[in-house]
Structure 1
Amino acid sequence: MSKLLIRNARLVNENRIIESDLCVDLGIITRIDTHIPDEGSYKVIDAKGKYLLPGVIDDQVHFREPGLTHKATIASEARAAVAGGVTSFMEMPNTVPNALTQDLLAQKYAIAANTSLANYSFFMGASNDNLDEVLRTNINDVCGIKVFMGSSTGNMLVDNEKVLDQLFRESPMLIATHCEDEATIRANTEHYKAEYGEHATAGLHPLIRNEDACLRSSSMAVELAKRHNTRLHILHISTADELALFDNSIPLTQKRITAEVCVHHLWFDSEDYARLGNLIKCNPAIKAPYHKQALLAGLKDDRLDIIATDHAPHTWTEKQQPYWQAPSGLPLVQHPLLLMLDFVKQGKLSLETLVRKMCHAPADCFQIDRRGYIREGYWADLVLVDPAQPMTVSAENILYQCGWSPLDGHTFGASVTHTIVSGELVYENGRFVTNRPGERLSFIR
């Protein structure tokens, strides 16, 4: 493993920005100090003018393997993640077959152990009829249980209220939920199909998957969690209406109910459907502009705890289908850090808050062992960012297997120059310098 010495960095960590050097040995941060001498055995990286951040932890991605590898693979999307400064990911169970048994879950871990450049964890999937399998999940080496309370594929919609109650009552570990009310969505779908037929466009998406669908389902999840004192994490909050469900009066480490917002719900709004159409069709839907402003405020005042991507790639051809047939989801895992760094440049977010929400908070929320912070004795998951080097998204530098991005043509104000995963320099100035896989995340619970 690499022995690294990073010099002259502007280190951003735990609400401070300091000038510092940093040493890495055997995967671990061994020293953080000014003017660390070079002992001759280190690879030296001069970080003058750059920010050194903890690696981003993305707690919600869909990497499509197994079963949907025409869209993406763990290997391809992990490469894209690393190039964007994402050093760890947590992947969802709605692959094919759905990860609804311990054996199927283990198969995904085996693939990642051989092919993922990033550190990895995989959610165990819940259904209406696999509670026994769910309760066998090891709380120390699996990130959580994923419950689709709406918008599911395969056998993963959990709509049996007795099963939900038992799952929330008996789960010993974090439950992460996708919250949209299926009955509301079905009624809206019937209404708009009758009105528009095959002439429907993506602009209808936030009307079909509307605020009421989100609030009904999120409220139900919160009520269940409070009833049973369940550790609940609600994914991709998309409405101002849901913010009142969450508490910002206590520290994150004491919360039993936490929430995530995704970069696309902060970046895009319903006015963008006219330009991008199905390319930004996703569940829950990107909604009216006032939601975007409310979500940013909820992020800053700690009602929303984590920033993630819900990276969900589909092929270009699939996205070019008519609205009713085009799948939901968009590829984002290569660009969340740069998106939020643009927010920093625009004065919408501080750099310290960005690090707290994308690095520290996921580690605290999921109780990840020795990651998410720049501390001596912690794993060296690190990213160097050049704030003065713009980067334009184009077909030549998009690393998603699907080959496209809704951000195509956008110029970010900063660039990722180096990514270090579990102490190994993996990405440097636009190229990958090793094929060494990342590590399986472990959890202290």
Structure 2
Amino acid sequence: MKTFIKNATIVNENQIFESDLLIENDLILKISKNISEENIDKIIDASGKYLLPGVIDDQVHFREPGLTHKGDIESESRAAIAGGVTSFIEQPNTVPNAVTQELLEEKYQIAAEKSFANYSFSMGGTNDNLEEVLKTNPRNVAAVKLFLGSSTGNMLVDNPETLEEIFSKVKMPICVHCEDEKTIRENTEKYQKQYGDDIPVKFHHLIRSEEACYISSSKAVELAKKTGARLHIYHLSTAKEMQLFQNDIPLKDKKITAEVCAHHLHFTNEDYETKGTLIKWNPAVKTQNDKDGLWEALLDDRIDVIATDHAPHTWEEKDNVYTKCPSGAPLVQHSLIVMLEYFKKGKISLEKIVEKMCHNPAILFDIEQRGFIREGYKADLVLVDLNGKWTVSRENILYKCGWSPLEGTQFSAKVTHTFVNGHLAWDNGKISKEKHGERLLFER
């Protein structure tokens, strides 16, 4: 199968240039202005559109197994490719938690049958499963995930001796959620004394506070420096934490790396007034000063990756009083579009968006043959129309939960085509019935 994309404006490796591109089966065969149109099965004229590498989202919760009333691998990977996300790394706090090799492998078997996008699943660490964690194959598993704040089931890792042992012995990336449980518990009790269970959501960023984040992330960084661990901190949310990270060495040489999520770059605590519990995330959306600090660190390369922490809940679950409302929201269909909107506002370049959403996840996790537009690489590609106005609505939201905190937002760019392993999976609003997602492999 040969697919010819002609007249594209390619954004790749800090360059923007016009070229044609030829896909043969699942690989990029040729990038050139002189490609013959003979013996081509499909031609796509990309005039006026930008061709990007497929987005790699390094942190999603697709809810399968055990929580499939909220979302599942099929529904959420479908939403992902509609948003230009061609690969994802899913987290272990499903039910049961993926904390044994057998349970982890079961998730891979589900994805092999159901995923529209390329997939990997992180192995979950607990206070008592180090032996299982050390069995993890670095060739075909993305990372080990630790929750250093509260989580589902038995996944809070709060034993200092266990943590140091994990950091010392695990040789693949250790990805962490950093919030200090003791601080959060004390803050929650304080507000519950005043409001009971119906705490106004506007206090969420004061309960899951800057202090709670910094205490935890600074300890993680200190431990990584002590042990030499390969540490990646997920969904940073405060300006204060930015002092923990460096920008003076290439990403491939960094031992401690950082991620920010699109919602922490987009919303602030002022938005609780109109969005309420729909933007209740952990870590919390915080102040304008925090948002500004995150943007500054993203642009000067202290922050390495933009992701989503896509975490759907049903409308009924979110429509609850504060203490009974779960944290998290769906975002994987809209993260690239959100960032393209900031490009159009002059906040970030297209090259930087591609670096943070495509190249850097591939470098950071050592992903094989993906994340770049290169001959011989897998043909995971996204065409975007930067003048395609549309509005997020219930009719075009593909998440199983059926809602988005961005509902009603008008965007001025859209994803028109998404290729997964050379297969046209998303074509101007139509999803392919065929699934071509593959298990990600890692060059380790």
Q: Could you tell me which residue of structure 2 aligns to residue 277 of structure 1? A: 276
Letter in 2 for 1:346: K
Q: Give distance in 2, aligned partners of 1:59 and 1:151.
A: 20
**Pairwise CA distance, 1:196:** 1.6
The answer on whether the counterparts of 2:81 and 2:333 sit within 8 Å (CA) in structure 1 is yes
Q: Could you tell me which residue of structure 1 aligns to residue 150 of structure 2? A: 151
Q: Give distance in 1, aligned partners of 2:374 and 2:191.
A: 53
**Pairwise CA distance, 1:278:** 0.4
Alpha-carbon displacement from aligned partner over 1:257-293 (angstroms, at most 9, x marks no partner) = 0000000000000000010110000100000111111
What secondary structure does 1:443 align onto? coil
Q: Give distance in 1, aligned partners of 2:283 and 2:366.
A: 26
Q: Could you tell me which residue of structure 2 aligns to residue 305 of structure 1? A: 304
The answer on whether the counterparts of 1:305 and 1:361 sit within 8 Å (CA) in structure 2 is yes
Q: Could you tell me which residue of structure 2 aligns to residue 73 of structure 1? A: 72
Q: Give distance in 1, aligned partners of 2:417 and 2:160.
A: 47
Q: Could you tell me which residue of structure 1 aligns to residue 400 of structure 2? A: 401
Alpha-carbon displacement from aligned partner over 1:74-130 (angstroms, at most 9, x marks no partner) = 000000000000000000000000000000000000000000000000000000010
Q: Give distance in 2, aligned partners of 1:364 and 1:416.
A: 24
Q: Could you tell me which residue of structure 2 aligns to residue 391 of structure 1? A: 390
* Count of aligned pairs: 444
Q: Give distance in 1, aligned partners of 2:338 and 2:208.
A: 25
Q: Could you tell me which residue of structure 2 aligns to residue 357 of structure 1? A: 356
What secondary structure does 1:419 align onto? strand
What secondary structure does 1:7 align onto? strand
- 1:319 maps to 2:323: no
Q: Give distance in 1, aligned partners of 2:406 and 2:59.
A: 19
Letter in 2 for 1:357: K
Q: Could you tell me which residue of structure 2 aligns to residue 208 of structure 1? A: 207
Q: Could you tell me which residue of structure 2 aligns to residue 431 of structure 1? A: 430
Letter in 1 for 2:398: L
Letter in 2 for 1:356: E
**Pairwise CA distance, 1:26:** 2.1
The answer on whether the counterparts of 1:425 and 1:434 sit within 8 Å (CA) in structure 2 is no
Q: Give distance in 2, aligned partners of 1:171 and 1:391.
A: 45
CA RMSD of aligned residues (A): 0.7
**Pairwise CA distance, 1:432:** 1.2
Please, what TM-score do these two structures have when normalized by structure 2? 0.99
Q: Could you tell me which residue of structure 2 aligns to residue 82 of structure 1? A: 81
**Pairwise CA distance, 1:58:** 0.1
**Pairwise CA distance, 1:200:** 1.0
**Pairwise CA distance, 1:359:** 0.2
Q: Could you tell me which residue of structure 2 aligns to residue 344 of structure 1? A: 343
Letter in 2 for 1:127: T
**1:18-417 alignment, distance < 5 Å:** 18-417=17-416
The answer on whether the counterparts of 2:423 and 2:436 sit within 8 Å (CA) in structure 1 is no
Q: Give distance in 2, aligned partners of 1:3 and 1:194.
A: 65
Q: Could you tell me which residue of structure 1 aligns to residue 8 of structure 2? A: 9
What secondary structure does 1:88 align onto? strand
Q: Give distance in 2, aligned partners of 1:373 and 1:19.
A: 16
Letter in 2 for 1:424: H
Alpha-carbon displacement from aligned partner over 1:279-320 (angstroms, at most 9, x marks no partner) = 000100000111111101100000000000000000000000
Q: Give distance in 2, aligned partners of 1:282 and 1:352.
A: 28
**Pairwise CA distance, 1:41:** 2.8
**Pairwise CA distance, 1:386:** 0.6
The answer on whether the counterparts of 1:113 and 1:437 sit within 8 Å (CA) in structure 2 is no
Q: Give distance in 1, aligned partners of 2:97 and 2:164.
A: 22
Q: Give distance in 1, aligned partners of 2:218 and 2:68.
A: 35
**Pairwise CA distance, 1:201:** 1.5
The answer on whether the counterparts of 1:369 and 1:442 sit within 8 Å (CA) in structure 2 is yes
Q: Give distance in 1, aligned partners of 2:8 and 2:215.
A: 47
The answer on whether the counterparts of 1:380 and 1:423 sit within 8 Å (CA) in structure 2 is yes
**Pairwise CA distance, 1:198:** 3.2
What secondary structure does 2:6 align onto? strand
Letter in 1 for 2:244: L
What secondary structure does 1:259 align onto? strand
**Pairwise CA distance, 1:162:** 0.6
Letter in 2 for 1:291: D
Gaps of 5+ in 1: none
Q: Give distance in 2, aligned partners of 1:134 and 1:255.
A: 23
Q: Could you tell me which residue of structure 2 aligns to residue 441 of structure 1? A: 440
Q: Give distance in 2, aligned partners of 1:185 and 1:390.
A: 41
Q: Give distance in 2, aligned partners of 1:198 and 1:443.
A: 45
What secondary structure does 2:260 align onto? strand
Q: Give distance in 1, aligned partners of 2:378 and 2:116.
A: 15
The answer on whether the counterparts of 2:4 and 2:40 sit within 8 Å (CA) in structure 1 is no
Gaps of 5+ in 2: none
Q: Give distance in 2, aligned partners of 1:371 and 1:41.
A: 24
State the identity %: 60
The answer on whether the counterparts of 2:59 and 2:89 sit within 8 Å (CA) in structure 1 is yes
The answer on whether the counterparts of 1:10 and 1:51 sit within 8 Å (CA) in structure 2 is yes
The answer on whether the counterparts of 2:48 and 2:385 sit within 8 Å (CA) in structure 1 is yes
The answer on whether the counterparts of 1:114 and 1:437 sit within 8 Å (CA) in structure 2 is no
What secondary structure does 1:199 align onto? coil
Please, what TM-score do these two structures have when normalized by structure 1? 0.99
**Pairwise CA distance, 1:39:** 1.6
Letter in 1 for 2:422: G
**Pairwise CA distance, 1:434:** 3.7
> Which deviates the most, 191-200 or 289-298?
191-200
The answer on whether the counterparts of 2:179 and 2:216 sit within 8 Å (CA) in structure 1 is yes
